[in-house]
Structure 1
Amino acid sequence: MSPRIRGLRAFCAWLKTRPQIADALFAVGLLAVGLPELFLEELPAGAGYDRFREPDVWNGLLVAAVTLSLTWRRRSPLQVLLFIVAGEMAMAVAGYPPSVADVAAFLVGVYSVAAHRGLAQSAVGGAVAFVYFLVYLVMVPVEASPLVVVTDCALVVGVWVLGRNLRLRRAYLAELEDRAARLERVRGSDARAARIEERSRIARELHDVVAHHVSVMTVQAGAARRIIDRDAGSAREAMSTIEEVGRTALSEMRRIVGVLRTDRDAEQEGRELAPQPGLGDLGALLDHVRETGLSVQLWIEGEARSPSPGVDVAAFRLIQEALTNTLKHAGPEARAWVRLYYGEDDLTVEVEDDGRGTSTFVGGDEGNPGHGLVGMYERVALYGGELKIGPRVGGGFGVRARFPLEA
């Protein structure tokens, strides 16, 4: 691109940010074309043109004033149009002939009031311009055929309609841009909310995985420490359980973190992301818990049906968290029961134990419950369920949650 073209583009961009300067240059250019035409060219002979006065200094001043008023056509379009109408009416009364400059200024004034003002002001300006134009045609001594009169009137109306349509188009485009900006802001807010929700979900998943498996490993390690001197075989078995539970915990943590990976990452690793656990994995969970020495029994009532994937994961994690808390707080010789009730439209999950069932179950003081119970409430509420947690009659603690089968 040549330096001349780059300079011209830069100048046009500069004028676009300064519309009044652009209008002033346009008015000066129009005047530079109109004044020589007014004084140098002779009027046509006949058809009444000989009745006009010869152009003089006053005529030139009036033409210059009318034309240069276009400098303010965007800031005050109605006032500029009225000024142009008054100036041209004065020239018509004085008998001066029309020129290219004042006729073009009149049409630009009609366009400006329609393009830069609302319907009320643009309608007033258009009506004033049309009435003036009819009066001007009557006042000038030039003989015009009806076809010429109709064509000239249609030109004035057409210029007004053009300005009005361009104004409506600009308003429509501005509304589209504003709507796009609002949608962009809303999308940003939704994305932030989704990130916050995803972080909370991942935090719940990690808490459930880590708390459960670490609790199992802690119980097994304590048992191995107590019996390692007198029963090395049982201690080795406990150590094997710790190793297996640790590997399971790492596997589940990789699966949770794997949700954050992209499909490209999964392809590079050459494997698909594993699904989340559900009630179908409940048997393996209870086997891990039984290996710690906690007696757990499972009852399933009603016609077993597959819940929605979200409810399936939430129910599994709730049972996992409840059994983890039982391991932590129920004490030795405690027993636990897990019950699943399948109703017509809902699934009820109950986890109870006959341990100590104290306030330590919540993992903190009264005003600061542990993350486990908070995660339970969040999971159940997320799928429109109900959750009740509290001591059992006769001792122990219980967790009861109802999930709709379809979240």
Structure 2
Amino acid sequence: MRNTPGGLRAWLHGHPLISDAALAVALAAAAVPCAYVTSLSGFDAPAGAAGPDALGLTLIVAGCLSPALRRRLPFTMLFLVGVVEMTLASLDRSGSLLWVAALVLVYTIAARRGLALSLCALVLSLTYRAVFAVTAADPGDRTAHLFVALLTMTLWIAGRGVRLRRAYLAELRDRAGRMERAREADTRAARAEERSRIARELHDVVAHHVSVMTVQASAARRVLATNPDGAREALSAIEEMGRTAMAEMRNIVGVLRTDAAPAERNPQPGVQEIPTLVDQMREAGLRTQLWIEGREGSLPPGVDLAVYRLVQEALTNSLRHAGPQARAWVTVRQEPGELAVRVEDDGQGSGAAGPADDRTGHGLVGIRERVALYGGILRIGPRPEGGFEVNARFPLKDV
């Protein structure tokens, strides 16, 4: 039972014609006895006016029923009410409650139509009141018409306020909708960026460790019959590399788990882990030298990880493409306002073109994205004296 009023209100709101028709019928029903009262009292009727007759009652009822169409044809109905009032006045008949119907229509136009049309309705209604006030012989009737004119202006102002409030609320809803859509778009973009970042991380981890494991497995296969101890060492290195790869992948994929606590995630690798990376490459058979130069200072976490992944991808490419006798050099130099990273190899040993000139793939694309993300400059290509190089420069704020 408690939901009945709300349900009835919502139903009437969804069927406005029914509520308007009910209002119009109630007004017309009240206007008939009111016509007799006003004719007897002399209010709102010319001096010597006759009592209501069939024509007068018909016009009054027709005018009072006009609010039934106040949402669809409010201005037309207001004009009709004015014509009916003028006709009754010319016939020396009372207008009864037609002024109430006019007030309802003026309010409706002000609340539901534009400023220009609402001003026209106000001027039209006030014109009717002015004509009736001027032609009224009784000072009391003139005062009554002036009071109705004041009510007309008051209801017009109230209607305009309702319209402005509706427009304001509609703008708020529209703005909230736009903000919600923008938030959803930002969320989708952030998710896409995070998926791309995780894909790059997984590629770098898998490509590096699988390449090293492949080289170690190949070496173990070649020396399995002649050097069992060497093969055993290679297999141990493969096992260790596999565990390291699994641990790194668990750390990367862990960001997708909503139930993982931050403390359970290991820190991402950075410049401090590059010596360990170089040792792994040496164990895999790539003769690598490392220089870390410049002043000591903490790096932004993103740049720190990007430098590590750059060196990892470059050394992995050297291991896969440079050849069994290749050498590699890694230089990391931190200067005021800049961090330079350079990874070189001598390719096939002495300037021979070949695989070094044809190193392409998703890894280098990921490197370009990483460097560009932090405003760096990247050069990837063959060295003039032979081999291949990856050269990057990251801008740094003074730390």
**TM-score (normalizing by structure 1):** 0.89
Displacement of 1:305 after TM fit? 2.7
Q: Which residue of 29, 32, 54 maps to 1:32?
A: 29
C-alpha deviation, 1:200, in angstroms: 0.9
Matching residue within 107, 115, 138 for 1:111: 107
Query: How far does residue 12 in structure 1 lie from its aligned partner after superposition?
Result: 3.7
Which of structure 1's runs of 4+ aligned residues deviate more than 4 A?
8-11, 45-50, 145-151, 357-364
Aligned to 1:379: 370
Q: Is the 8 A contact 1:77 1:117 kept in 2?
A: no
Mapped to 1, the partners of 2:357 and 2:204 lie a distance apart of 14
The correspondence for 1:340, drawn from 306, 313, 332, is 332
Aligned match of 2:122? 126
Alpha-carbon separation, structure 1, partners of 2:224 and 2:320: 22
| Partner-residue secondary structure (3-state), 1:52 | coil
CA distance in 2, matches of 1:46, 1:370: 96
How many angstroms does 1:271 deviate by?
A: 4.7
Which whole-Å CA distance do the structure 1 matches of 2:141 and 2:19 have between them?
Answer: 38
For residue 314 of structure 1, what is the aligned residue in structure 2?
306
Determine if contact 1:43/1:49 at 8 Å carries over to the other structure.
no
C-alpha contact 2:111 2:163 (8 A) present in aligned 1: yes
Kindly provide the amino acid, as one letter, of the partner of residue 81 in structure 1: L
Rounded to whole Å, the distance in 1 between the matches of 2:61 and 2:153 is 25
Equivalent of 1:187, from 162, 166, 183? Answer: 183
* Separation of aligned partners in 1, 2:28 and 2:43: 27
399 and 53 in structure 1: CA distance in 2 versus 1, 3 angstrom threshold: same
Residue 156 (1) aligns with residue 148 (2): no
The aligned counterpart of 1:280 is 272
Between stretches 156-165 and 191-200, larger displacement belongs to 191-200
How far did residue 150 of structure 1 move? 5.6
The alignment partner of 1:51 has SS state of coil
In 1, Cα distance between equivalents of 2:12 and 2:192: 47
Helix, strand or coil: the match of 1:337? strand
Partner SS for 2:41: coil
How much does 1:282 deviate? Answer: 1.1
Shift of 1:127: 1.5
- Per-residue deviation, residues 55-103 of structure 1 (Å, max 9, x unmatched): 1111111112212222221222222222212211222222222323x12
Q: What letter matches 1:116 in structure 2?
A: R
> Which residue matches 2:169?
173
How many Å separate the matches in 1 of 2:207 and 2:43? 106
The worse-fitting range, judged by mean Cα deviation, of 287-296 and 147-156 is: 147-156
CA distance in 1, matches of 2:356, 2:48: 110
Instruction: Name which of structure 1's ranges 80-89 and 13-22 shifts more when overlaid on structure 2.
Output: 13-22
Note the alpha carbon deviations across 1:186-230, whole angstroms, 9 max, x for none: 222222222221111111000000000111111111112222222
- What is the aligned partner in structure 2 of residue 304 from structure 1? 296
Shift in Å, 1:276: 1.5
The answer to whether the Cα contact below 8 Å between 1:362 and 1:370 also exists between their aligned partners in 2 is no
Give how far 1:32 is off.
1.9
Paired position in structure 2 for 1:246: 242
Distance 1:39 1:228 in 2: 121
**Out of 99, 122, 125, which is 2:96 matched to?**
99
Which string of whole-angstrom CA distances, capped at 9 and with x for unpartnered residues, describes residues 368-403 of structure 1?
x41111111111111111111101112110001111
Deviates more, 1:331-340 or 1:68-77: 68-77
SS at match of 2:264: coil
Deviation at 1:361, TM superposition (A): 5.3
Decide which of 388, 396, 399 is 1:405's aligned counterpart.
Answer: 396
Say whether 1:16 aligns with 2:13. Answer: yes
Identity between Structure 1 and Structure 2 (%)? 50
Q: Does residue 1:266 correspond to 2:260, yes or no? A: yes
3-state SS in 2 of match to 1:128: helix
How many residue pairs align between the two structures? 395
| CA separation of 1:47 and 1:402: change in aligned 2, threshold 3 A | closer
1:201-260 deviation line (CA, Å, top 9, x unaligned): 111000000000111111111112222222222222222211111111111101101111
Of residues 202, 205, 211, the one that matches 1:206 is: 202
Q: Is the 8 A contact 1:266 1:272 kept in 2?
A: yes
Distance 1:99 1:178 in 2: 45
Structure 1's 107 and 145: CA in aligned 2 closer, same or farther, altered over 3 A? closer
Q: Give distance in 1, aligned partners of 2:142 and 2:295.
A: 92
* TM-score, scaled to structure 2: 0.91
Structure 1 window deviating more from structure 2 (177-186 vs 387-396): it is 177-186
Distance in 2, Cα, partners of 1:321 & 1:46: 98
Partner Cα separation in structure 2 for residue 405 and residue 16 of structure 1: 63
